[in-house]
Amino acid sequence: MLEVRDISKSFKNSNSETLHVLEGMSFSVQKGNIVGILGKSGCGKSTLLKIIAGLIQPDSGHYRVENCEIADFLRENKIGFVFQKANLLPWLNLIENLLFPVTIITKTQRKEDIEKAEYLLDKFGIQNYKTYYPYQLSGGMLQRASVARAFMCDPKILLLDEPFNSIDEQTREKLWVDLRKFWKTENTTVILVTHSVREAMFFSDNVLVLSSKPASITNSVEIDLPNLREKELIVDNHFNEIEKKIRTLYG
């Protein structure tokens, strides 16, 4: 599905000094899998996602999706991106925010798009708030809406840039469960970046552990857990054994 080979990226700071962020990053993601990329804050995780999304260009290396160049894939709007902040438009209500990216493409609000927005709001438990504006919603609701909006264009790849980072633990764990359940119905390929070992484990089929900057992959861990995951899994002995192993690798 997605193949990343030898991606490197550097930036210049205000003193014209070179900051090496990514170094020789290589990995692949199979269609319909969830891969968690685990790294400490500031190591370059978000930069990697922005490269995959075509928002910035790498200095070297290449990546392909379904054996196509990324530019062709992006033209079909097949990559969804959920950022750390919900970034909903404050002058639009909830359902209007979901419809906004589709309306930009189609130049109109089609009946099928409205029905899909209703369906997604229901799936993510915020249907009763569809006429509310962002300032009227909690952080958890905003992030649910942000994830729902990313599915409006039927993405083949969904990129998650620590979207659960700013919400409370109970809400966050409920979102892990709900999003994994929805993912199973959509067969979407998902890449999550996070600095939380537990989040990477619970949500992913495979976890890639990053080094500090310049980031490269130091370890890959298959997550041997059931496909259907409930919150109770977190206190399971097998879950704790895998968590212990990853924490040792993570440092």
Which of 19, 75, 69 shows the shortest CA–CA distance to 44? 19
In the prediction, which pLDDT does 75 show? 64
Q: How far is CA 15 from CA 11, 12, 19, in A?
A: 11, 8, 11
Q: Is 179 within 8 Å of 9 (Cβ atoms)? A: no
Q: What is the mean pLDDT of residues 126-147?
A: 94
Which of 87, 98, 244 shows the shortest CA–CA distance to 161? 87
Split at pLDDT 50, 70, 90, the class of 102 is confident
Q: What is the mean pLDDT of residues 228-245?
A: 91
- Residue linked to tokens 């939380």: 196
Cα 155 to Cα 172: distance, rounded to the nearest angstrom: 23
Domains of the chain and any CATH numbers = 2-78+157-250 (3.40.50.300), 90-154 (no CATH)
Q: How far is CA 39 from CA 36, 84, 86, in A?
A: 10, 15, 22
Dihedral over alpha carbons 5, 203, 182, 130 (to 10 degrees): -100
pLDDT above 80 for 200: yes
pLDDT above 80 for 108: no
Q: What is the mean pLDDT of residues 188-197?
A: 93
Contacts of residue 34, Cβ cutoff 8 Å, sequence gap at least 6: 180, 183, 189, 190, 191, 192, 203, 204, 205, 206
Q: What is the mean pLDDT of residues 149-165?
A: 90
Residue 41: other Cβ atoms inside 10 A: 9
Cα 89 to Cα 167: distance, rounded to the nearest angstrom: 19
Q: What is the mean pLDDT of residues 134-163?
A: 92
In the prediction, which pLDDT does 73 show? 64
Written as one letter, the residue type at 227 is: N
pTM of the model as a whole:
0.90
Q: What is the mean pLDDT of residues 32-45?
A: 91
DSSP labels for 127-185?
A: GGGTT--GGGS-HHHHHHHHHHHHTTT--SEEEEESTTTTS-HHHHHHHHHHHHHHHHH
